[in-house]
Amino acid sequence: MILVTGATGTVGRPLVRALRARGAAVRALVRDAGEAPAEWDDGVEPVVADLNDAGSLAAAAAGIEAVHLLTPVGPDAARQARNVIDAVAGAGRPKVVLQAAIGVRRRTVPVRFFDAHTAALDHLEGSGLPWTVLAPNGFLQNFLALLPDLRRTGTLALPAGDAAVSYVDARDIAEVAATVLTTDGHEGAVLDVTGPRAMDHDEIAERLGAALGRPLTYRALTPEQARTALLGTGMSAWQADGLVELYGLYASGAARAVSDTVPRLLGRPALPIETFLADHATALRAGSAPSQENH
């Protein structure tokens, strides 16, 4: 039995699918039983728990062989990860696959979103549990949330400078996670997970524009301009500052490297942006963020 936290999210949805395709029995953590997607078959056991409620996690952790530990972005993520690690450590010696982010161990630019991953890894190392860390780059799926804005403004405005980023399709992260969860030989590894090549944001804007059916240009914002714009959307200061830090990391060039994790573990190249755009063509044409239903 493999416990999946974040099972209804961007990585979790395709991860549950990938585990089922490998024949694994899945326990999928949900906050509300009504959230269980219709696509989950009898091999997926929804379990209701909350990452903030340590007591609720004991039943989720009982009898598992492995756990995919994903915490949402937020100021409570370090505590949430600790709650899961303590719950699974209390239930035996399952393998833990921690969903972190690039630079979990060697950050050159501080990014508050990633502090929880570093803290979780420290806690894991002290737990005696066998672990593997997945350290993905930025998700291509992030651009889907920007669609209404892109269509309205014709501009991809980000504080990313002229840096190239090897953005990754979250479905590849899910496939890598499923492989690591169901096969041996990955203990103690920190696996960077990236797309097949780095692209600058001029190219991304051009490709997104072609898929939207509307010309799109990239505009590099200063960190201050970005912060003001994000706060103007009603975003919390913690989240806005975190995004500015994240794009600062990208702008530094630290997210440009391409890793061999996807080809090495999956035996095929990482999904290129062309596949991502083709698979989301309907949502892109409509200019609205799609549901996760089919992707």
Ligand X SMILES: NC(=O)c1ccc[n+]([C@@H]2O[C@H](COP(=O)([O-])OP(=O)(O)OC[C@H]3O[C@@H](n4cnc5c(N)ncnc54)[C@H](OP(=O)(O)O)[C@@H]3O)[C@@H](O)[C@H]2O)c1
Residue in 172, 213, 165 with CA at minimum distance from that of residue 193: 172
**Residue 236 Cβ vs ligand X, minimum distance, rounded to whole Å:** 15
Nearer to ligand X, 10 or 259 (CB): 10
| Alpha-carbon span 103 to 114, nearest angstrom | 8
Angstrom CA distances, 134 to 13, 68, 168, stand at: 17, 10, 12
Nearer to ligand X, 217 or 292 (CB): 292
**Residue 88 Cβ vs ligand X, minimum distance, rounded to whole Å:** 14
Angstrom CA distances, 111 to 22, 75, 231, 286, stand at: 35, 12, 18, 33
**Residue 64 Cβ vs ligand X, minimum distance, rounded to whole Å:** 16
Helices first, then strands: H and E counts in the chain = 12, 11
SS (H, E, C) 127-154: HCCCEEEEEECCEHHHHHHHHHHHHHHC
Nearer to ligand X, 154 or 290 (CB): 290
**Residue 29 Cβ vs ligand X, minimum distance, rounded to whole Å:** 6
**Residue 215 Cβ vs ligand X, minimum distance, rounded to whole Å:** 25
Nearer to ligand X, 142 or 291 (CB): 142
Residue 263 and residue 134 in contact, taking contact as beta carbons nearer than 8 Å:
no
**Residue 87 Cβ vs ligand X, minimum distance, rounded to whole Å:** 12
Residue in 101, 143, 137 with CA at minimum distance from that of residue 118: 101
Residue 182, H or E segment: helix 170-182
With CB atoms as reference, the residue minimizing the distance to ligand X is 9
Nearer to ligand X, 108 or 267 (CB): 108
Site residues (vs ligand X, CB under 6 A): 6-12, 29, 31, 35, 50-52, 70-73, 99, 101, 113, 136, 138-139, 142
Nearer to ligand X, 13 or 186 (CB): 13
